[in-house]
Chain A
Amino acid sequence: MERVKPIPQTETMVLNVGPQHPSTHGVLRVEVELDGELIVRADPDIGYLHRGIEKMCEGRTYHKCLPLMNRIDYLAGEVNNFGYCLAVEKLLGIEVPKRAQYIRVIMAELTRIASHIFWLGTSGHDLGAMTPLFYGFREREKIMDLCEMVSGGRMFPLYCRIGGLAADLPEGFVAKAMEFVKEFPDKWKDYDTLLTQNAIWKQRTVGVGVMTAEEALDWGWSGPMARGSGVDWDLRRDNPYSSYEDFDFEVPLGTRAGDTYSRYLVRMQEMLQSNRILRQALEKLPDGPVKVDDPRVSLPPKEMVYKDIAALINHFKFIQEGITPPQGEIYQAIEAPKGELGFYIVSDGTAQPFRVKIRAPSFVVLNATDKLATGRLLADLIAIIGTMDIVLADVDR
């Protein structure tokens, strides 16, 4: 006679993913409760990289906050500076010259491509596709070289200044950037052939981490994350800043299904659109100054500081005392590679900001981890973290 097997007792198991885990893109810890291989609860634990940037800003002059801003989202360093400078300029009520606006757009779009390439490489790598990382870094290296040309810094160019730019573009930059713009669509095809129709890639991404358009707004999603769900919204088009209205580009929406695959398509297409903006900006780049002609806002030219006593005094006072925007509060948002990057700055009329609140896109997106992962397999959690394109420095600030 066959023995009756006892019914196995089931209980959930708690698994600790991270903080040192290659697929968490930094120091993210996710506490996952598992029922077999199904996720019952996924609770992200953040803050390992909290540097208190918002607090540090309150003790510095407006200019001295710039190096901190580079390090919010370090994969798109210059975009953060761009947003912060725009916010302070809005507070001051000034507009930078057209040439500076165009150059800022060029830097922003270059970093957007670099950031998306990094996302493609790492999230592909997480799901077992090794090659996009190597192909992508070939082009990312060229963008890093371009960043190095303008200021000497690769990850953190620190090229934007309040009131304009640190310096004009170096000789040969436009030609080199144009060379990149011309060859990029061909290189992009390499990535596209690797993954877009790849059966394994589709199995891992289609229908994983689904968010409807309505839910995406409820969860505060922006940028490529929201567009993958079919939210037709791009701050560059809908609230243009820094001359984005001069450029002709489309806002890709993927398959509108709101899954990981749709977001993959959005980011892939965005690279091409960025390239399109780059081409137009380089072709139409106007001549003229690169910072506002106002000694209260922008530093005097370096060569004048060495020759002219008035410029030297101005430079000294500027660095020591800083600029004093009028009392008031503003919010300025830009379309960063990862979504809406906002700066809420309150000024009390002194040289230090009273409060700088940074609205980081990664922080907001990560909030929905539990919603996306619950009921899915543990392996899907890796796909979900990958598709979020988070940078932990951006999450923790």
Chain B
Amino acid sequence: MQKAAELLKKQFASEVVEVMDYRGDTTVVVKPGRIRDICTALRDDPEVSFKYLSMIAALDYAPQSPRFALAYNLYSHKNHDRLTLKTYLESDTSPAIDSVVPVWSTADWHEREAYDLMGIKFKGHPNLQRILLPLDWKGHPLRKEVPQRGDQAALEWVDRKIRPERIK
């Protein structure tokens, strides 16, 4: 697994922030700026060959700053190993990052989900709109400020046609 970390350190020396090993999982923390180049390099390198994107997870570390992070989990069918790429987004108010749909087609829905539930914008995504929630939903429920129960946006959404007078 060190191969991928070394490759990143060599090719993107200024981008790699930290390499972590925990319970056998390797996580490379990178800067968000050149994420698409990093992903392309990891996919196309014949040695590491991460041709498969497992998932993209959006994280909210509020009230810390930087607040938002993304974790990309990659799998290599050549070496049968995994790599987690993690990146902390610069803006706490309007988080945005380059889309990796041109690298892996499967990123399409993963990014839409991250946009829908966490409100992270993906620049260059072909169709960035809500996927799981209704299109007229307000807010991004996976953010930490949204409570477990009694979400006002959810109440208003339910009431919007039945009892419109309850919405101010």
Residues of A within 8 A of B (CB): 46-47, 50, 52, 54-56, 58-59, 90-91, 93, 217-220, 222, 231, 233, 238-239, 328-331, 333, 340, 342, 344, 346, 354-355, 357, 359, 363-364, 366-368, 371, 396-397
Contacts and interface: CB of A to CB of B under 8 A. Distances in A.
12 contacts: A46-B131, A47-B130, A55-B142, A218-B51, A220-B54, A220-B105, A330-B25, A344-B71, A344-B73, A346-B59, A364-B110, A396-B132
A258 to B, nearest CB: 15
Q: How large is the interface on B (under 10, 10 to 19, 20 to 34, 35 or more residues)?
A: 35 or more
B106 interface: yes
Contacts of B82: 331, 333
Contacts of A46: 131-132
Interface of B: 22-25, 27, 51-55, 57, 59-60, 71, 73, 77, 80, 82, 84, 104-106, 108-110, 113, 117, 130-134, 141-142, 146, 148
Q: Give the most central of B23, B130, B146: most A CB within 10 Å.
A: B23
B77 A220 contact: no
Given A56-B148, A59-B148, A219 B54 contact: no
A364 B23 contact: no
B108 A330 contact: no
Nearest to B51: A217
Q: Give the most central of B27, B55, B80, B109: most A CB within 10 Å.
A: B55
Nearest to B57: A357
Chain A to chain B: the 5 pairs with minimum beta-carbon distance, closest first:
A220-B106, A357-B57, A59-B148, A359-B55, A47-B132
A231 B77 contact: yes
Name the prevailing secondary structure of the A interface residues. mixed
Given A217-B77, A342-B54, A359-B73, 11 more contacts: A50-B133, A55-B146, A59-B148, A90-B23, A231-B77, A238-B80, A329-B71, A331-B25, A346-B59, A367-B105, A367-B108
A244 to B, nearest CB: 14
Q: Give the most central of A331, A340, A342, A397: most B CB within 10 Å.
A: A331
